[in-house]
Structure 1
Amino acid sequence: MKTILKILGIIIVLVILYAVYAMLAFSKDYHFERSVVINAPKEKVWEHVGSTKAFNTWNPFIKPDKNIVITYSGTSGEVGDSYSWKGNEDVGEGEQTVTASVPNEKSTSKLHFIKPFEGDATANFILTPEGNGTKVTWTMDNELNTMMKLMKPMMDSQMGKTFDQGLADLKKLAEQ
């Protein structure tokens, strides 16, 4: 019994130390990005990232809910192009609006998450020539609250998997 209590005590102390470390060491500014080189000209790649409707044909964040409700507004492919979504607990609820666009080069969007957690983020798709193809860099920036700082290692892992899945799907579409 003493051994079990010692092990439990050690685990509790380690959790507390990690929490203190995370709160002090992890920045509140969070940046995540992934890139892929697609064997297609940037004009063809832009067809799949230049509007919210095009993005949602391969958006990995909405795939966990086959019954997601998406409502589009604004002019497709232009500043103000937006969509809102309502999905299951895996997808949540929110909205994304294009705030800046340089056709065939860069699209910037503001994301507003409503459920499961309230928050805001900025996402970018940056297209640059790379050999005979196009390098696509997908970024997301936001501010982490204390609870999110504690979950940062899990966030990095999940974001990596999701971004990689999305970019692989984008590559397949654009290379057809």
Structure 2
Amino acid sequence: MKKLLKILLAIVAVLIITMLVMGKAYHFEKSIVINASAEKVYSHINSTKAFNEWNPWMKLDPNLKVTYSGNPGQIGDKYCWDGNKEAGNGCQEITALVPNQKQSTKMVFFKPFESDATSNIILMPEGNATKVTWDMDCELDYPMNLMKLFMDSQMDKSYGEGLNALKTISEK
């Protein structure tokens, strides 16, 4: 029994140390080169409706309820979603737009847990193509920050799926 207790205490100590060393800040980004002009790619990111044409999370719930508000293609353009356990619910609002260069958003999640994040989609011309970098920043409270150990692989999959969909519609 003492040996089991020592093992459990060691595991708890390792988790606490890991949690403290990792900190709360989380950053993820992924890039892709799209064979289309920045202007064409921008037309697919400059409003929440355009974004949702390739947003990988829209597929998590076939019955997802989405409501839009604000003026499309302007700061304050916003959508809120309410879905199943996988999709959760929350809102995403455009906070900055630089034509043919950048879209920034703020996201607020209510379910499956409350949190918020910021995201940027940055366009950089590369000859006749455009490099698109999509990033996300958030803070995860203790002990939720331990999720960072598993988030990169899921984010890589989701962002990769979204960027590939953006590439497909932009290159048409």
Q: What TM-score, normalized to structure 2?
A: 0.93
CA distance in 2: counterparts of 1:120 and 1:25, whole angstroms: 22
Deviations 1:133-173 (A, max 9, x none): 00111010111111321111111111111111111111111
Map of 1:108 onto structure 2:
104
Between Structure 1 and Structure 2, how many residues are aligned?
A: 172
SS of 1:79's equivalent in the other structure is coil
SS of 2:93's equivalent in the other structure is strand
Structure 2 residue identity aligned to 1:115 = K
Map of 1:157 onto structure 2:
153
Structure 2 residue identity aligned to 1:171 = K
The equivalent position to 2:51 in structure 1, one of 39, 52, 55, is: 55
Q: Choose 69-78 or 150-159, whichever is displaced more.
A: 150-159
Alpha-carbon RMSD across the aligned residues, in angstroms, is 1.8
SS of 1:162's equivalent in the other structure is helix
Please list every run of at least 4 consecutive aligned residues from structure 1 whose deviation after the TM superposition is greater than 4 angstroms.
8-11
Map of 2:69 onto structure 1:
73
Give 1:19-168 correspondences, 5 Å limit: 19-168=15-164
Query: Cα distance, 1:62 vs. partner?
Result: 2.0
CA distance in 2: counterparts of 1:109 and 1:117, whole angstroms: 19
Contact 1:73 1:82 in 2 (8 A): yes
Structure 1 residue identity aligned to 2:134 = W
CA distance in 2: counterparts of 1:61 and 1:11, whole angstroms: 40
Query: Cα distance, 1:9 vs. partner?
Result: 6.4
Deviations 1:25-66 (A, max 9, x none): 112111110010000000110111111001101111121101
Q: What TM-score, normalized to structure 1?
A: 0.91
Of all paired residues, the percent bearing the same amino acid is 53
Gaps of 5+ in 2: none
For the structure 1 residues 78 and 11, does the alpha-carbon distance in structure 2 shift closer, same or farther, using more than 3 Å as the test?
farther
